[in-house]
A and B are shown apart, each in its own frame.
Chain A
Amino acid sequence: MTPQPTLPVPDAPVLATEALVAGYERDVPIVRGVDLAVAAGECVVLLGPNGAGKSTLVRAVAGLVPILAGAVRLGGTDITTVPAHEKARYGLAFVPQTENIFARLTIHENLQIAADILPKPARSRRIAALYDMFPDLVARPSRRAGQLSGGQRQMLAVARALVAEPSVLILDEPSAGLSPKAVAELFARLNGINVAGVTTVLVEQNVKAALAVGDRAIILVEGQVCHEGPASSLADDPIVAELYLGARRARAAGR
């Protein structure tokens, strides 16, 4: 029998990792002991240079990368060993960086797939709500998702993730490959989603845009948390500048 998700414990983080070690091979961990705590309604931005383990961390939380040690908790429930498809039912939504929509299915079918885990009466109501939230998608719902532009695809991917009313939304570099206009639109939408109460974890390379929407930023280097602080103060932090210029990375990690 599937364990029922429990409500969040007051003041407890909605999403937490405890000494999380993850990677594809046991003797080559990519994430090396990460403690993460995300409070309800918060938008946390994960930053770090290429190869820092940001994507591996969120993919491990979503159930796509093996967890080698440590724990993941969602709303106080240990979901470390819960399979990926069950995590969606616990209220975790994940938008991968690439191939994050079903290109051969229609726009409507992409939303239906996500709604199929909801009770029947709620499905069409939720899909209608998502069409209201993303009016670009409602114009031609029978269009094949593979025919959408890059920006529209990301909107569909986010819409698909939101169908099941998740408590936590994790996005892995949603701005990758998008035009500046599409990035601006996407981040405005993500900000609105977070303001509406969905706890958000955002992995990004687009530091400026991410820090503008995030409440707090965590910087990963070589699979470990190197620095963290309020997003507003990190925007001008020299550590962030150094990491993304690729200079003196080792020294920055040691601070």
Chain B
Amino acid sequence: MIPQALIDGLIAGAVIGLGAIGVTLTYSILGFANFAHGEFISWGAYFALAVSSLLGYLFAGLATPIGPFSFGWSLPIATVAAAGLTAGLALLADLLLFGRLRARRSAVIILVIASFGAALTLRNLLEFIFTSAPAYYTRSLQIALRFGHVRATPDQLFSLAVTAVLVAALHLLLTRTAIGRAMRAVSENPALAGVTGIDVRRVMRIVWILGAGLAAVAGVVTGLLVQIRPEMGLDLLLPLFAASILGGIGSVPGAMLAGLIVGVAEALAVQWIGAQWRAAVAFVILVAILLVRPQGLFGRTE
């Protein structure tokens, strides 16, 4: 049972990690805890649902399942579109709300409270458009593959692989490219980054695009493996923050590893103490890390 809980935890943790990367980037580069990030996950899932449904309607062949998976080509195509649309939504939120507050040099707490407002608006808008009834990308049944004592569906393995590729690509972007260096520079000292020739506003736009794009993928994975609901992002919010703080604010590998830790801890809690305590695990991890090592696993003390 324990190995199965570990594999289930890793799969749930991959989603948490993808979302936590966006939270940690926003926190370190834009300078505030964005409580609307969970909504980007939900909107990403629904954008993909709308696009894949449309593609399936227009081109029936695209809805035919690919090999062992439960979904057809319409879903990967829709995921790319959803990442773009969610990035657009994040840029719109920045244009209408967060950017204006930054221009007024508003205190961080105002940005945080504004993000609560944005989250409520986005969530209710989603419920208004799509209703609160659960939705699914596919209703095809999958036979789980057996690996010794553990089982995993092809969809679950595919989701883990996609997450690993995205995290590796983002890590390389941050450490090996000019835009990655610029992002790390803005995270440390926006004023110095500016006089060094970095367009800080462009970097902030890229952070929104990356964070929201990854959130959309996290939404699609959750929708594929569980179900699509307007509250799916809200339910993930506490684990996202626990993972981004546990990993160390600003650390992409830290957020991913911490996401996996939170996911596994939740799965083991279900196994050992009961499913009703699952949600409490992220909270306990969050409090413990703030007490014991506030800079997180990969964070540095200034």
A114-B197 in contact (CB<8A): yes
4 more CB-based (< 8 A) A-B contacts, given A88-B195, A96-B191, A102-B188? A64-B191, A84-B195, A99-B189, A102-B185
Let me know if B229 is at the binding interface, CB within 8 A: no
A85-B194 in contact (CB<8A): yes
Contacts of B181 in A (CB 8 A): 105, 109, 112-113, 116
Most interface-central of B184, B188, B194, B195 (chain A CB within 10 A): B195
Let me know if B288 is at the binding interface, CB within 8 A: no
Contacts of B199 in A (CB 8 A): 83, 85
**Which chain A residues numbered 46 to 85 have a C-beta less than 8 Å away from chain B?**
62-64, 83-85
Contacts of A94 in B (CB 8 A): 195
Question: How many chain B residues touch A (Cβ–Cβ < 8 Å)?
Answer: 18
Contacts of B182 in A (CB 8 A): 113, 116
Taking the nearest CB of chain A, how far is it from the CB of B203, in angstroms? 10
Interface string of B167-208 (1 = CB under 8 A from A): 000000000001001101100110111111111100000000
A88-B200 Cα distance, complex, nearest whole Å: 13
Which residues does A use to contact B, with CB under 8 Å? 62-64, 83-85, 87-89, 93-94, 96, 99-105, 109, 112-114, 116-117, 160, 164
B184-A105 in contact (CB<8A): yes
Nearest B-chain residue to A103, judged by Cβ? B188
Contacts of B185 in A (CB 8 A): 102, 105, 113
A16-B199 Cα distance, complex, nearest whole Å: 24
A84-B189 Cα distance, complex, nearest whole Å: 14
Which residues does B use to contact A, with CB under 8 Å? 178, 181-182, 184-185, 188-189, 191-200, 300
Taking the nearest CB of chain A, how far is it from the CB of B205, in angstroms? 14
Given known A109-B181, A116-B182, contact A104–B196 (CB-CB < 8 A): no
Most interface-central of A64, A96, A104, A117 (chain B CB within 10 A): A104
A112-B13 Cα distance, complex, nearest whole Å: 35
Given known A102-B185, A109-B181, A116-B182, contact A63–B192 (CB-CB < 8 A): no
Nearest B-chain residue to A95, judged by Cβ? B195
Please pick, from B178, B189, B197, the residue contacting A85 in the complex, using a CB distance under 8 A: B197
Taking the nearest CB of chain A, how far is it from the CB of B266, in angstroms? 32
A84-B194 in contact (CB<8A): yes
Given known A105-B181, A112-B181, contact A83–B194 (CB-CB < 8 A): yes
Please pick, from A87, A103, A104, A112, the residue contacting B195 in the complex, using a CB distance under 8 A: A87
B178-A96 in contact (CB<8A): no
Nearest A-chain residue to B179, judged by Cβ? A116
A17-B147 Cα distance, complex, nearest whole Å: 73
Most interface-central of A84, A87, A96, A160 (chain B CB within 10 A): A84
A160-B189 in contact (CB<8A): no
Contacts of A164 in B (CB 8 A): 197
A101-B178 Cα distance, complex, nearest whole Å: 17
A85-B184 in contact (CB<8A): no
B194-A63 in contact (CB<8A): yes
Most interface-central of B178, B182, B193, B300 (chain A CB within 10 A): B178
A102-B192 in contact (CB<8A): yes
A199-B198 Cα distance, complex, nearest whole Å: 23
B198-A113 in contact (CB<8A): yes
Contacts of B196 in A (CB 8 A): 85, 88, 113-114, 160
Given known A64-B191, A96-B191, A102-B192, contact A116–B197 (CB-CB < 8 A): yes
Contacts of A85 in B (CB 8 A): 193-200
Taking the nearest CB of chain B, how far is it from the CB of A67, in angstroms? 15
> What 4 A-B pairs have minimum CB-CB distances, sorted nearest first?
A88-B197, A117-B197, A84-B194, A116-B178
A238-B198 Cα distance, complex, nearest whole Å: 44
B195-A63 in contact (CB<8A): yes
Taking the nearest CB of chain A, how far is it from the CB of B109, in angstroms? 21
Please pick, from A87, A99, A109, A116, the residue contacting B192 in the complex, using a CB distance under 8 A: A99
What would 26 A/B residue contacts be, using CB atoms closer than 8 Å? A63-B194, A63-B195, A64-B191, A83-B194, A83-B199, A85-B194, A85-B200, A88-B196, A94-B195, A96-B191, A96-B192, A99-B189, A101-B192, A102-B185, A104-B188, A105-B181, A112-B178, A112-B181, A113-B181, A113-B182, A113-B193, A114-B196, A114-B197, A116-B182, A116-B197, A164-B197
A99-B260 Cα distance, complex, nearest whole Å: 35
A87-B196 Cα distance, complex, nearest whole Å: 9
A64-B197 in contact (CB<8A): no
A31-B182 Cα distance, complex, nearest whole Å: 31
A92-B300 Cα distance, complex, nearest whole Å: 33
Contacts of B198 in A (CB 8 A): 85, 113, 116
A102-B195 in contact (CB<8A): no
Nearest A-chain residue to B250, judged by Cβ? A104
B194-A96 in contact (CB<8A): no
A183-B191 Cα distance, complex, nearest whole Å: 25
Contacts of A103 in B (CB 8 A): 188
Please pick, from A104, A117, A160, the residue contacting B300 in the complex, using a CB distance under 8 A: A104
Taking the nearest CB of chain A, how far is it from the CB of B115, in angstroms? 26
